Structure 1
Amino acid sequence: MTWGELQFPAPAEEWRGHQIRCITAAGDGSKQIQIVLVHGPLGGNPGFGGSIEYWRRLFPVLSEEGYTVHAFDLLGLGLSEKPPMEYSIELWAEQVKDFLTKLGTENVAWPREAGLVERALFFFLGRSLAMSWVGSVCSPSRSTKLADYAASVARTNKRSMAGGAGAGGLLFPMHVVAVDLMLRFSDVRPHEELLAEGLLTMFVEAMGQAIFVSHQWLSAKHPDPKGLQFRVLQDALRNILSGASKISIDVSTEIFFGRPAINSAAKMRSTPLFVWYDYFSCPQHPESKKLREDAIQSIPEYIAKCEHFMVLTPPLNHVEQAEMLSRYSWSERGWCRAERMARELSSEGLVILVQNSTQQTLLPQYESVLYSPGKGHFTVESDREKIAVVTQKMVLKKLMGYLEQGDLHNYRFFLNQQPIRLDSLPAEPLNNLVPDFRTEIDPAVDPKGFALATFMHQNGFLSITEYDKGGWSPLCFAAMNGDPVLVSALLEKKASPNDATKKSKILAHMPNQMTVLCLATCFRNNEALSILLEARAEVNGRDARGDGALHWACVSDNAEGVRILLEAGHDPFMLAGPGASPWATACSTGSIRAAKELLYRVKGLELRHSFFWCLMFHGGSKAMVNTLIDAGADIDERYYTDFTNPAMLLVLRMYSLKHYWSPSRLTLLAHHHFGATPLMFSVMNGHFEAAIVLVKAGARLDLRNARGKTACDLATDMQAPSDLVVLVGNSFGSLISLLAASEQRPKGIVMLNCAVGMNNKNMVKSPKMNNLQRFFAKLALGLVDLIFRSPILDAAFKSFANKEQVSALLKNLYPTNPAAVDDELAEGFVQPSQTPGALDVLRQIYTGNPGPTPMEILAGGRMADLPMKVIWGDQDTLTPIKGDVGSFLTEQAKERSSIDFEIISAGHLPHDENPEAVNKAVLAWLAKEPWRSS
């Protein structure tokens, strides 16, 4: 690909809610390696730093050699958004690490997959990319009582509560067992015995990391009488820690939103690890009832303190009930639902499902939104009151946390979820947190008007037609809340019954353009649903993914909603992406009540491929499989994609090819789908309960798919190699790459003239300085801080932000080839300086924390075996080769065989000043494939 063939301006991406620019050039398939280019500043003036133009000479050469190449703006630099925040090397290292997750590296926060094929597919299907930037939504600029209250909370609260869902302090200490001890346990013993033997530790975060284990007990008196469930946990932890098994991505998450972050395995290996397990950690003796109650009330706090959350659900029979326990029976337990809700409301919301020692799956992060703990099963009915207290405290803490953070959209989103989160619990929603509500409306005379005024005050809206920064209007939140009086009041004030969201909610799996009819249906607010239909809401309206309200009724297992929509004329055969009908959606989500309602009301319902939808996604419960068998679905049906469903055909063919270089649970299923039977799908996707039901029902074991595999063959065919990624950085881009690699290892790094820090403040760490020199250096740096915080910088910045000044600076940085500085390059650096926030970013960078030095990152022989190519321009005056970093890396290259150091004739930007030498050196190093030994 030539430079001229690239798309300019670079396409917009979203990273952590902010816009950046990114360009990817797909290779020709001849090279496995993917190259990520990490830019530095323009000669110490990062406010002008470009990204794509910065790599104009290296990027096309790597692409033409067959490599897949990525280049992107660092947040705050280039053409990226420049939000007011603290910029640091660590922040940019996080951006690089998150970008690596898009490439499918081993340990992968929620950015979408980076592949061009996927982008084309989503465009073909007419879908909004879930993580694309949709811009700010206009809203009135006047302040509201909600905004004022949020500011007050932020001022008065010294400790942020936004990150956790804990319930306000520990009533009982958090007792844990060190993993190395736990792995040696031969049986499951109670808290009192372990405490007496000194095997329990009172956990504090400074000690390391903790895993919270959520599970069902296998008997009424003991969680695991024979230790069968516990041995699965032990073996799974051994395999995760050793790398013998990897945590898979949920299939639907990857199809619609890409691959989320799974840093869990790397985190577990990085520090001492401890386990919280109820039988170990909570008092069990009958005389310890009060202490046990205190421990139970502290569970949300325990979860908030845990880096990891595991759901332990191997398919085992309950001792007394002779019933198989599974992920589905676990999800029906009231306590288990409460634990999962606590996890999903914490800062570390990932939930890892452990079904056997080799299969662990990341569960989607939306299910607690739809399923209240109060709707779960309780062995002891009085536990419902305990759960109510715990849940209400979690809700309050989360709401106050959002207020302190100033995140008003998510505050509203969570505030209006309360009816469903507290459903069937003896607890009232917290609907009057915002003070100073005043109205002249008499609730006895005008109840609708009073309800609407209260809602607008508590939600901080000034207009019926207003959309908040998250793209939601008052009616969107009201439809989710479900108050029929409120919905009626908004409609009477001329809110549109066809209103829809203007942005997606990634963690809730809610796409853009989700109509209020879909929202009311999804949250089972059927009275509100009927009111919207009476107001002539479009019954067959769709969201950006193509789903209608009937699809959402099936997602939330809303059987009454199914009936209402069908009677109102909803198309029962409407297809959404990828080719999913409402029936397919009910099968894929395991929504038994909705499925039975469809079977009862829809004539001519097609059962073909029902097991595929059920077992490819989340529908593999015993009850759902039996429902399909009873309906007459073929238990030995061979699944073949064809042009009757072109969207699914394209999805499966694409991911089948991707399995060769970027395997996942989805790619495995796609790779083996052709000719596969329901039994094969159940094995590949970990639906072991379903597999047992199918075998008992007479499913054939001798059938083979199109690749010649039986179900037994597929059970052992679940492992594949990870991707290969090399980071390439210049200046502090090299430092960012190095820091990112220290926490999320790539297969190699190329560093071009590596900087000592984000700014010059790390110079005081130089061992070459004596105390007097260090004193005067600190004075000089303090003066720089004063200048950069003063109005002087504003005028200097404006006078410098032109092509002539930038060209002159660049020519000083290109000592061997000033002719390489042309108008294209200068304009590429000037343009970012015109974007909002550029000056603030520049000020932040020069006055902020410089971050760690390369010497600190590599201290103690860390990353000794990581392949590194160091290229240094010998005429660099900003980071001279004789400086601290250059000298350090020169010596490291002598001690470490993994470092290849090369000096070329160039200044600070060797890749653009002397591209021939840099391109040749990089390509030669890549051709050696030094990562093979790593």
Structure 2
Amino acid sequence: ESSGLSRAIESIPAYIAKSSFFFVLSPVIQSSGDQDTLFGPGSWSERGWCRVERALRELSPENSWIMIKSQTELELVASPVGAGGGGGAPGEGVFTVAGDKRKLAPILRQTLRRKLLLSLKSKDLEAYRVLLNLQSVTFRGLEVKPTSDLIPGDPADAAPGGSESRSPEVAHFLHQNGFKSVTDSDSRGWSTLHYAALGGDPSLIRCLLEEQADVNLQTKKDQPLVGLASFVSPLAISVFFRHNEAARLLLAAKAKVEGGLQPALNLAGISNNPEGIRILCHAGCNPHTTKDIFGFSAMEAAAGQGQVEAVEEILRQAGGRVSSWILNRALFLACCFRGGKAEMIHRLIEMRADVNRPYPFKGFSFEAAFMVAKSLQHRFGKVTNINKISYHSSGARPVIAAILSAQYEGAAALIAEGARLDLPNKRGCTAIDLAQGQDLPFFMTEALEGRTGECKHVAKAALEHSYFEV
């Protein structure tokens, strides 16, 4: 039996690699055996084996996957390993049998090694460098030795002039990453220090800094393989991937805490890195004034991704004072993206966000221009989640955003807290109108007919199981 189980586990990567489609079936439902237990995208993303399957899919040639939330609502996810829409590292997931982590570790390492070799064979150095240096994130929580010897040869012979001016550690890093010098960058402006920040090894970063790597150099282009926009610094990358010792080292080397389209503080909020938020604020970041290019604060960025711990830390660093403007925007954004879970909704309302306040727009801003552009795309037939929400956002309450994004746990929590379903947006549409045509969970159908008891029960159950996330 044990041998059969081992063979079954070993076959998972092959099955996934041969699959044209990868579906995650995760509607919000109550357990038939325990009505106080809820299942959905959040419970799926917390399970260790589900994370393993997702990671293996993201390492396969066809790396996108589809999350089915209901008969009428689905989401296409094209995220890189460890950076996207399906939860965190496999080793940090929940396993019913603790020993399963030991079984999956070599499978995950073997699959990643194969992906690295394929990237080298196809001369895709960009993907190779990202995956090579992200191993510390991919294998987080597992006892796995990272792959570090794929490129043969002596590093001392790889660069003109030998390696007398470099440490062996730096020489090995440059050789395995295909760089000739510490000051090299790729076509996206990602330097040796940016890639070292992906891995988060303080010793390597220290050696690169001693070799005069530019601590404040920003990238030139976005990097979809790690979900980052252009103009990010090594410090921002470090806190985004929760490499906090590396962040301290970069700050000691005079790294700037501000700057970029996505400031380091916002990225620490998005990735739920409370320690990183503390480090940045102690180094001079101001949670009241730090904003990204769209004008979003770290509080709004963290809430939009459902990162409760980050929101709590930002509140502490802000001295317990956050404006109602920010809180109301944070509540709406939580319902637009991945923050629509009862725990986040409840906490923001405790902080005095208003469940029936329309989304507060900033006039003449990058955000407003972006929303207008997405609204026009929706009007001319390009229907995506963000286009649909942008089109209906003017004058919309959070419950409208939650229904449009199919975050039904969040919608239930809002209704339990007194959200009204009859308030129209500026296009004259109410939450009841926009829910028409959706295949809704039973508790939402009840609420649309004026019976909110089931929504209150769902919200209570979700709060008692705070791991649940939509």
Give yes or no for contact 2:117–2:150 (8 Å, CA) kept in 1.
no
Give yes or no for contact 2:58–2:81 (8 Å, CA) kept in 1.
no
Q: Is 1:409 aligned to residue 126 of structure 2?
A: yes
Amino acid at match of 2:300: A
Could you say what secondary structure the match of 2:229 adopts? coil
Q: Matched residue pairs, number?
A: 422
Could you say what secondary structure the match of 1:636 adopts? coil
Give yes or no for contact 2:272–2:307 (8 Å, CA) kept in 1.
yes
2:75 is aligned to 361
Could you say what secondary structure the match of 1:352 adopts? strand
1:529 is aligned to 247
1:315 is aligned to 28
* Cα displacement string for residues 703-750 of structure 1 (whole angstroms, at most 9, x for unaligned residues): 22223322121111679xxxxxxxxxxxxxxxxxxxxxxxxxxxxxxx
Shift of 1:523: 1.2
1:599 pairs, out of 295, 315, 326, with: 315
Shift of 1:367: 6.0
* Cα displacement string for residues 400-442 of structure 1 (whole angstroms, at most 9, x for unaligned residues): 11121122232111100000100111211112233333669xx
2:17 is aligned to 304
Amino acid at match of 2:228: M
Unaligned runs of 5+ in 2: 158-163, 440-470
Could you say what secondary structure the match of 1:357 adopts? coil
2:212 is aligned to 494
Give yes or no for contact 2:89–2:138 (8 Å, CA) kept in 1.
yes
Could you say what secondary structure the match of 2:22 adopts? strand
Could you say what secondary structure the match of 1:659 adopts? helix
Shift of 1:320: 4.8
Normalization by structure 2: what TM-score?
Answer: 0.84
2:294 is aligned to 578
Give yes or no for contact 1:498–1:516 (8 Å, CA) kept in 2.
yes
Structure 2: distance between partners of 1:382 and 1:718: 41
1:841-860 maps to which residues of 2 (within 5 A)?
A: none
Shift of 1:293: 3.3
Structure 1: distance between partners of 2:185 and 2:368: 38
Structure 2: distance between partners of 1:450 and 1:387: 32
1:135 is aligned to none
2:409 is aligned to 689
Give yes or no for contact 2:83–2:227 (8 Å, CA) kept in 1.
no
Give yes or no for contact 2:82–2:89 (8 Å, CA) kept in 1.
yes
Could you say what secondary structure the match of 2:296 adopts? coil
Shift of 1:380: 1.1
2:430 is aligned to 710
Shift of 1:642: 4.2
Structure 2: distance between partners of 1:521 and 1:654: 31
Q: Is 1:567 aligned to residue 282 of structure 2?
A: yes
2:144 pairs, out of 409, 427, 435, with: 427
User: Percent same amino acid among aligned pairs?
Assistant: 36
> Residues 334 and 315 (structure 1 numbering): CA distance in 2 closer, same or farther, change over 3 Å?
same
Structure 1: distance between partners of 2:149 and 2:351: 48
Could you say what secondary structure the match of 2:369 adopts? helix
Structure 2: distance between partners of 1:429 and 1:626: 41
Structure 2: distance between partners of 1:369 and 1:640: 29
1:180-219 maps to which residues of 2 (within 5 A)?
A: none
Could you say what secondary structure the match of 1:361 adopts? strand
* Cα displacement string for residues 898-923 of structure 1 (whole angstroms, at most 9, x for unaligned residues): xxxxxxxxxxxxxxxxxxxxxxxxxx
Give yes or no for contact 1:333–1:376 (8 Å, CA) kept in 2.
yes
* Cα displacement string for residues 265-312 of structure 1 (whole angstroms, at most 9, x for unaligned residues): xxxxxxxxxxxxxxxxxxxxxxx5533432222111111101111111
Shift of 1:470: 4.5
Q: Would you tell me which structure has more strand in proportion to its own residues?
A: 1
Give yes or no for contact 1:337–1:368 (8 Å, CA) kept in 2.
no
* Cα displacement string for residues 803-850 of structure 1 (whole angstroms, at most 9, x for unaligned residues): xxxxxxxxxxxxxxxxxxxxxxxxxxxxxxxxxxxxxxxxxxxxxxxx
> Residues 660 and 503 (structure 1 numbering): CA distance in 2 closer, same or farther, change over 3 Å?
closer
> Residues 524 and 336 (structure 1 numbering): CA distance in 2 closer, same or farther, change over 3 Å?
same
Shift of 1:323: 1.7
2:8 is aligned to 295
1:762-781 maps to which residues of 2 (within 5 A)?
A: none
Give yes or no for contact 1:369–1:417 (8 Å, CA) kept in 2.
no
Structure 1: distance between partners of 2:191 and 2:77: 29
Shift of 1:361: 1.2
* Cα displacement string for residues 493-542 of structure 1 (whole angstroms, at most 9, x for unaligned residues): 11111122233212432222221111111111111111111111111121
Amino acid at match of 2:381: S
2:195 is aligned to 477
Amino acid at match of 1:305: K
Could you say what secondary structure the match of 1:608 adopts? helix
RMSD over aligned Cα atoms: 2.2
Q: Is 1:330 aligned to residue 41 of structure 2?
A: no
2:341 pairs, out of 621, 625, 645, with: 621
Amino acid at match of 1:299: I
1:334-413 maps to which residues of 2 (within 5 A)?
A: 334-366=48-80, 368-369=82-83, 371-413=88-130
Shift of 1:632: 2.4
Could you say what secondary structure the match of 1:658 adopts? helix
1:760-839 maps to which residues of 2 (within 5 A)?
A: none
Could you say what secondary structure the match of 1:368 adopts? coil
Structure 2: distance between partners of 1:410 and 1:639: 39
Structure 1: distance between partners of 2:360 and 2:291: 18
> Residues 291 and 506 (structure 1 numbering): CA distance in 2 closer, same or farther, change over 3 Å?
same
Amino acid at match of 1:493: E
1:515 is aligned to 233
Structure 2: distance between partners of 1:379 and 1:577: 43
Give yes or no for contact 1:640–1:673 (8 Å, CA) kept in 2.
no
Give yes or no for contact 2:133–2:195 (8 Å, CA) kept in 1.
yes
2:373 is aligned to 654
Shift of 1:569: 0.7
Could you say what secondary structure the match of 2:181 adopts? coil
> Residues 437 and 323 (structure 1 numbering): CA distance in 2 closer, same or farther, change over 3 Å?
farther
Structure 2: distance between partners of 1:290 and 1:475: 44
Amino acid at match of 1:479: A
Structure 2: distance between partners of 1:632 and 1:294: 54
Give yes or no for contact 1:500–1:515 (8 Å, CA) kept in 2.
yes
1:552 pairs, out of 267, 275, 291, with: 267
2:329 pairs, out of 600, 609, 619, with: 609
* Cα displacement string for residues 449-480 of structure 1 (whole angstroms, at most 9, x for unaligned residues): 23222212222222110113453221111111
Structure 2: distance between partners of 1:635 and 1:312: 30
Shift of 1:353: 1.0
Amino acid at match of 1:623: E
User: 4+ runs of 1 displaced by more than 4 Å?
Assistant: none
Could you say what secondary structure the match of 1:298 adopts? helix
Structure 2: distance between partners of 1:362 and 1:522: 23
Structure of higher CA gyration radius: 1
Give yes or no for contact 2:183–2:191 (8 Å, CA) kept in 1.
yes
Structure 2: distance between partners of 1:369 and 1:641: 29
Structure 1: distance between partners of 2:71 and 2:279: 44
Normalization by structure 1: what TM-score?
Answer: 0.44
- Structure with more contact order per residue of length (Cα contacts < 8 Å, sep ≥ 6): 1
Give yes or no for contact 1:409–1:470 (8 Å, CA) kept in 2.
no
Q: Is 1:633 aligned to residue 353 of structure 2?
A: yes
Structure 2: distance between partners of 1:574 and 1:406: 39
Give yes or no for contact 1:502–1:512 (8 Å, CA) kept in 2.
yes
Unaligned runs of 5+ in 1: 1-287, 441-445, 720-934
* Cα displacement string for residues 60-108 of structure 1 (whole angstroms, at most 9, x for unaligned residues): xxxxxxxxxxxxxxxxxxxxxxxxxxxxxxxxxxxxxxxxxxxxxxxxx
1:262-277 maps to which residues of 2 (within 5 A)?
A: none
